[in-house]
Chains A and B, each alone.
Chain A
Amino acid sequence: MALTETLQFAGTMFSGAMRIAIPICFGALGSTICERAGIVNIGIEGMMLAGSFGGVVGALVTGSPWIGLLFAMVAGMLFSLLHGVLTIHYGTGHIISGLGVNLLASGVTTVLLVAIWQNRGKSEMVGTLPTIELTFLKKIPFIGQAFGSFSPLFLLLLAAVALLWVFLYKTTFGLRARIVGESPQTADAAGISVPKMQYICVLLCGLLCGLGGAYLSIGDIGMFSRDMVAGRGYIAMAVTIFGAWNPIGALGGGLLFGLAQSLQFRLQQSGIPVQLIQMLPYVITILVLLLVRRKGGGPAAAGKTFDREKH
C-alpha cells in the first residue's frame, strides 16, 4: 500500500515536473541549436514571450488554439529574425542584441495587450489545446499519474528533441551547422554559406521558443499575462549549458529543473519559508553548473561575429 502511494506521489511529482519542463526544454532546444551555429541568444526569454502572446492572438482571431500555435511560432521567429539580422548581418554584440530583443518583446507585448484588450495585466481567456488523456494508464501507479494526461506539446517536445538530435548528429546539414559554430572560417573556406546556416538555426530557435511560450499561454492557462515567461528563458540558457549543447541533454536538464521546481511546490506545504523554497531552483541550477563544469565547453566560435574579409 505504502509502495503504491509512494509511486503515485512520484508520478504526480513527475507530471508536475513535466509541465514545468516543457517551456524550458523548448527554450533550451532553441538555445542549443542557436549556440551550435555560433549565435549566443539571450533573447530566448523575449522570443518565448512573443510566442505566448502570438498564441493567444492566433487562438482569438481564428478561434482555434492549434492555429494559435502557428501564430506563436511565427511570432517567435519574427523576434529571432531580428536577433539574426543584428548579430549576423550587422555584427552587433550577441548579448546586447539579445537584451534588446527581450526588452522589445516585453514592451511590444505589453503595449499591444493594452491596445487590444485595454487591460494592463492580462488578456481575455481563449481556448486551450486539449490535453491528451490515456485512460487505460490511469490505474497503473506512477505511470498513471505521470503519463495519464499530458499536453500535446509534450509529444511535440519529444519529437523536437529526437528530430534535433538526428538533425545535429546524423545529417550533413547538422554537421555543417556544428562546424559553423566551431570554426566559421573552416566552413566558409569549404564553400558553406555561414550566414545562411546561422539564419536557419536562429529561425529554428525562434520557432522552438515560440512553441515553448505558447505552452504557457494556450497550452496551459488559456490567456496571456504580462511578462508571463518570468525568467524561464534565462533558465533555458543555463539548461543549455548543463545539457552540454546536446538536445537530449537539454531535455534532461529541463526535466531536472522541473523536478526541483515541483519539489518546491511540495515543500511549500511543509512550513519552510516560501522564499527559501522559491530560491531553490536557482540555487540548484548553479550547483548543477558547478558539478558539470568544463564538460564539453561549448562551441568555440559562439558569440563571435564572422566576417570573411577580416581574418
Chain B
Amino acid sequence: MDFVQMRGITKIFGKVVANDRVDFSVKKGEIHSLLGENGAGKTTLMRMLYGMSVPDEGSIILNGSPVTLKSPSSAIEQGISMVHQHFMLADPMTVTENIVLGYEPRKGPFFDRKKAEQQVAELSARYGLQIDPKATVGDLSVGNKQRVEILKALYRKCDLLILDEPTAVLTPLEVKDLFAVLRSLKEDGKTIIIITHKLKEILEISDRVTILRAGKLITTKNTAETDAAELARLMVGRQVQFEVQGAKPVAADAPVLLEVKDAELRRRGMQLLSGLSLQVHAGEIFGICGVEGNGQTEIIEAITGIGQLSAGQVLLNGQPVHKPTPTKMADRGLAHIPEDRGLRGLVADFSIRDNSILGYQRSRRFSRRGVLDKKAIEMHTRQIVSDYRVKVGSIDDTAASLSGGNQQKVVIGRALSQDPDVIIAAQPTRGVDIGAIEYIHQKLIEMKNAGKAILLISAELDEVLGLSDQVGVLYRGRIVATGAPADFDEQTLGLLMTGYHKDTEKEERPCLETLHSAFAKS
C-alpha cells in the first residue's frame, strides 16, 4: 500500500506554476528519488508535504487517510521530517539545542539540558552518527551539520524522511557515508525521499525514482529497470550531450596569464590560505576541486581584489599587481563571475540595464567624467540580451524578476563582453537549468579557444573534470595536487579533497573514520 499519496497537487507562485496537478506516491520502507532540473518543482512539492507551504489544489493522503498539513508541526506530528538543502540550524546554539528544538525534554517549565544531551548521545550512538552533543553548531563541518539535521529528524521519531539535495555539499566519501546511514535507516523501517539531480546517486541508492519536469510529474520508474541515459532524457525532455565538444588543446608555448604565488591569508587567527600557488595559461581552463570552505572564496576574493592577501602575489600577464582592487583588476583585463550571484553578482533591485554595467560603471565605454552614457549602456545591455539569449520582458525590469538561469546569463554576459584576458568563473552553473548549463559551458569553451585563461571553481566535480585542461585539488588553503583530469580517478580525488594523501598523511588524518567506514562498505 502507498504510504504517502499526493493527489492532484497544484501550486502557483505569482505567474509561475511550480507544481501542476502532480500525483505522487511513495511506498512504505522504500528509498524514493525525486529527480528533476532546477526549477522543476521538486522542492516545492516536498515543502508542501512538510507543511511549509500549502497546496493551492489537491490533497495529501497519509497511510490511507487524508491529512491537512498547515505547518511543519502538523507534518512532524504525522511522522514526517525534512532535511533542507540550506540547513535549518541556529549556528550559535549547541548541537543538542538544535536537535531537541520544539520537543525539548523539560522539568516543569525548565529546559532539562542534561536529559536532552543524554538523549542526543544515545541517538547518535544508535545510528552511528557520531557527534558531540555539546559542540556549537557553527563550529561544525558541513557534513557534521547534516548529521545534526538527520539526528533532529530521528529525534522526532520520523517515519518519513525527506532530504533535499543532501549530497550537494558533500565529498564523495561523505556521500558514501550518508548512503550507508540511509540504508540502515531503511532497514529500520523508515521511508526516505531524496531530492536530487544526480543520476549516478539515484541508481546507487534508490528503489524507485519519480521524474518531474517543469512542474509536471513525468513518470515513476523502478530504479532497477532504468539507466542514466533514460533518466536524463526523461528529466530534460530530449537527448542531452554530456560531453563538451570542440575544445582546442592548450598550445605548448601558451604564456601564463594568471599566476598566484605563495598566497597566504590569516584572518582572526584562522589560516585560510597557506601557500597557495597556481598558474593558468592562455587558452587553458584550470579547474579547482575541493570541498567547500577550503579557501575557494578567499582565493577568488584575493584574485579579484575584493580581499587582500597577508602574503604572496597575484600576477596578471606576468606583471605582479600591487594591492589589487576590483577596479584595478578589471582594468587589467580580469573578468569575474561571482560564486553567489544573488550576493555578489547582481543588485536584485537594479534594472537589468543597470546590472549590465556593474563593475564597469567607471569604464570609458559607459561614462565620461562621472556622467553615465545612457545610450551606450542601453546598446550594451541589448547586446548582452541578444548575444546570451537572456529572456527578458524589458531591460528596465529588475534583475530579481529574471529566472536564475537568465540572471546568470546577465552576469556571464557582462563579464565576457569586456573582452577580458583572464576569467574567474566561480560556480558558473549553480542553480541554472540544464539548457543554460550547456550554453554556459559552450561559452566558456569558446572563450578558452579564443585564448583566454580561465580559472574555474565549481562544487560540481563533473563540471570541473569535464571542462578543465588542468585540475588542482584545494585542501585547507593550498593546492595539494595538480594534473590533467584523466590523471585522477574518483577515489584518489576524494582522498585528496579530504586531506588524505601522501604529503600530509603524517600530520593530518581528519577523515580517517570516514575513510574506514567507506572502505569497509565498498
Contacts and interface: CB of A to CB of B under 8 A. Distances in A.
B180 to A, nearest CB: 25
B90 A186 contact: yes
B127 interface: no
A contacts with B: majority SS: helix
Given A171-B111, A172-B104, A185-B88, A191 B53 contact: no
Interface stretch (B94-102, B185-193, B211-219, B294-302): B94-102
Contacts of A185: 86, 88
B110 A170 contact: yes
Given A175-B111, A190-B72, A182 B102 contact: no
Nearest to B50: A189
A167 to B, nearest CB: 9
Contacts of B27: none
Contact of B101 (A170, A190, A193, A300): A190
Interface string B56-79: 000000000000000111111100
A309 B12 CA distance: 12
A82 interface: no
B2 interface: no
Given A170-B111, A189-B52, A183 B71 contact: no
Interface residues of B, number: 30
Interface in A129-171: 170-171
Interface residues of A, number: 24
Contact of A309 (B53, B90, B103): B53
B90 A193 contact: no
A188 interface: yes
B102 A183 contact: no
A179 interface: yes
B102 A190 contact: yes
Nearest to A310: B13
A193 B101 CA distance: 12
B101 A183 contact: no
A190 B73 CA distance: 7
A308 B71 CA distance: 10
Contact of B76 (A179, A187, A191, A193): A191
Given A172-B109, A182-B92, A191-B73, A308 B53 contact: yes
Contacts of A189: 50, 52, 72, 82, 84, 88
B93 interface: yes
B106 interface: yes
A168 to B, nearest CB: 11
Given A182-B91, A185-B88, A191 B98 contact: no
B104 A175 contact: yes
A117 interface: no
Contact of B88 (A172, A175, A190, A300): A190
A171 B104 CA distance: 10
Contacts of A186: 88-90, 98, 101
B71 A172 contact: no
B162 to A, nearest CB: 11
A185 B82 CA distance: 13
B415 to A, nearest CB: 28
A285 B152 CA distance: 43
Interface string A168-207: 0011111110110011011111111100000000000000
Contacts of B102: 176, 187, 190-192
A249 to B, nearest CB: 16
A226 B408 CA distance: 56
Contacts of B74: 191
A175 B109 CA distance: 12
B111 A172 contact: yes
Contacts of B77: 191
Interface string A37-54: 000000000000000000
Nearest to B93: A179
Interface string B159-197: 000000000000000000000000000000000000000
Contacts of A178: 90, 93
Nearest to A173: B109
A259 B266 CA distance: 41
Given A183-B90, A187-B102, 8 more contacts: A170-B111, A176-B102, A179-B90, A182-B92, A187-B90, A190-B152, A193-B73, A300-B92
28 contacts: A170-B111, A171-B106, A174-B111, A175-B104, A175-B111, A176-B102, A178-B93, A179-B93, A179-B101, A183-B90, A185-B88, A186-B88, A186-B90, A186-B101, A187-B90, A187-B101, A188-B71, A188-B72, A189-B50, A189-B52, A189-B82, A189-B88, A190-B102, A190-B103, A191-B102, A308-B52, A309-B53, A311-B52
A-B CB proximity, top 7 nearest:
A191-B73, A190-B102, A189-B88, A172-B104, A182-B90, A186-B88, A183-B90
Interface of A: 170-176, 178-179, 182-183, 185-193, 300, 308-309, 311
